[in-house]
Amino acid sequence: MDTKQIPLHQLHTQLGGKMVPFAGFEMPVRYTSDKEEHMKVREAVGVFDVSHMGEFMITGPGALDFIQKVTSNDVSKIVDGQAQYSCFPNDKGGIVDDLIVYRFNQEKFMLVVNASNIEKDWNWIKGYNSYDAQMEDISDDMVLFAVQGPKATATLQKLTDVDLSGIKFYHFAEGELAGKQMIISGTGYTGAGGFELYIQKEDAEEVWHKLFEAGAEFGIAPIGLGARDTLRLEMGFCLYGNDITDETSPLEAGLGWITKFTNDFVNAEALQRQKEEGVTRKLVGFEMVDKGIPRHDYEIMNESGEVIGKVTSGTISPMLNKGIGLGYVQVGYHQPDSKIFIAVRNKQLEAKVTKPPFIK
């Protein structure tokens, strides 16, 4: 499969972005260092170009019923201008993808899905569209900038008359910013505060430059995927393909809070049964007690050296300066403060189960 380029590919190269293949796209992984970019977002403001993400518009009289069928959360509970985290359950007990649902009105919604799953998700939900709902894949027309960090609001407010402090977490507004119409969304994958901007492709470069003028006094910087990963991991946010997959159930992944049995979604019956019977493994956060870096697929053991699970994501937390990770363990080892061991190069290094977020 050919790797696609995001619309501002050239700009990122000029900025010194190291471009790597990721989820079918060439993406900037870093511009300076992961740690420097990570701290920039925690302490000031940074901009991620995450235009590889997918956007589907779902419209028409049957839009709500259709989304209720394919997603696990209860979409009837959100109001116009509100967003909701959810997942597409598959018919085998796993997860097709996790996503955000945006509600504009009763007959207009936007689904934002992961880049690597655009085609898979589209085909999956299309198979369930027996409703009076129109589907449109607008992924190639949209650019998505995540402006994140404690100085994000001060930066963006210079560029818009929309009162940004009035946009609550997981809510959004349509308005003009940097002279262009866009969706301004109070969402992000960093836990550092800020907004995500959904912009028409042809407006992207102009908006990018205006963001950097407005944020200059705060030392605004472009941020790559490397820091995006360490930032999301400090918050304990799941990454599709690592922490959640076609094989992991939302209940095992600690996503019971987005699995509402008030509506008849795909495979609801089997997941309801799993909820009643209980799961045998759970996704947990953990912090290293011994020095070492936990990595994806490293084995997790108990004190007797028996394998009780596997690491799904791991890194050194720039804020805590120690190893942190997520992984599945057998039920019984999932309680906070449980002692576990991570197999790092023939050594068993001690860690303890910690309830994310790792930084408060």
| pLDDT at residue 360 is higher than 90 | no
359 located within any domain: no
Q: What is the mean pLDDT of residues 144-158?
A: 98
Q: 331 by DSSP, 3-state: which?
A: coil
| Number of domains the chain contains | 2
Q: Is residue 23 part of a domain?
A: yes
The residue count of the chain comes to: 360
Which tokens is 80 given? Answer: 């116009």
Q: Is residue 255 part of a domain?
A: yes
Q: pLDDT tens, 104-125?
A: 999 999 999 999 999 999 999 9
Cα(278)–Cα(262) distance, rounded to whole angstroms?
19
Angle ∠(21,27,31) on CA atoms, nearest 5:
120
The helix or strand, by DSSP H or E, that contains position 178, with its residue range, turns out to be none
Instruction: Assess if residue 312 is contained within a domain.
Output: yes
194 and 337 share a domain?
Answer: no
Residue 257 has a pLDDT of 97
Q: Write phi, then psi, for 312 (nearest 5 degrees).
A: -105, -30
Same domain, 155 and 301: no
Residue 25 within any structural domain of the chain: yes
Is residue 314 situated within a structural domain?
yes
Does residue 218 sit in the same domain as residue 318? no
Indicate if 249 and 332 belong to the same structural domain.
no
What is the pLDDT, as a whole number, of residue 227? Answer: 98
Query: What is the rounded CA–CA span in Å between residue 9 and residue 180?
Result: 21
Q: What is the mean pLDDT of residues 244-261?
A: 97
360: in domain: no
* pLDDT recorded at residue 83: 98
Q: Is-above-0.85 flag for pTM?
A: yes
Q: Looking at residue 298, what is its pLDDT?
A: 98
- Quick check: is 265 in a domain? yes
Average pLDDT of the segment spanning 343-359? 96
The reply to whether 48 and 144 lie within a common domain is yes
Q: Which of 246, 277, 308 is the last residue before a domain boundary?
A: 277
pLDDT digits (tens, 9 = 90+) for 16-32: 999 999 999 999 999 99
10 and 122, same domain (yes or no): yes
Per-residue pLDDT at 304: 95
Q: Are both 292 and 266 inside the same structural domain?
A: no
Residues 69 and 130 in one domain: yes
User: Are both 247 and 336 inside the same structural domain?
Assistant: no
Q: Domain of 333: which CATH number?
A: 2.40.30.110
- Mean pLDDT for 257-285 is 96
Same domain, 170 and 74: yes
Contact (Cβ atoms closer than 8 angstroms) between residue 281 and residue 196: no
Give the residue from 240, 257, 277 where a domain finishes. Answer: 277
As a whole-number percent, the residues of the chain with pLDDT over 90 amount to 98
Same domain, 218 and 284: no
Note the pLDDT tens digit of each residue in 28-60: 999 999 999 999 999 999 999 999 999 999 999
pLDDT for 102 equals 99
Which of 277, 294, 325 is the endpoint of a domain? Answer: 277
**pLDDT the model gives residue 82:** 98
pLDDT computed for residue 18 by the predictor = 98
Q: Which domain holds residue 250?
A: 1-277
Model confidence at 1, in pLDDT bands (50, 70, 90)? low
User: Do both 53 and 183 map to the same domain?
Assistant: yes
Q: What is the CATH number of the domain that holds 37?
A: 3.30.1360.120
- For residue 346, name the pLDDT band (cuts at 50, 70, 90): confident
- The mean pLDDT value for 220-238 works out to 98
Q: What is the model's pLDDT at position 2?
A: 83
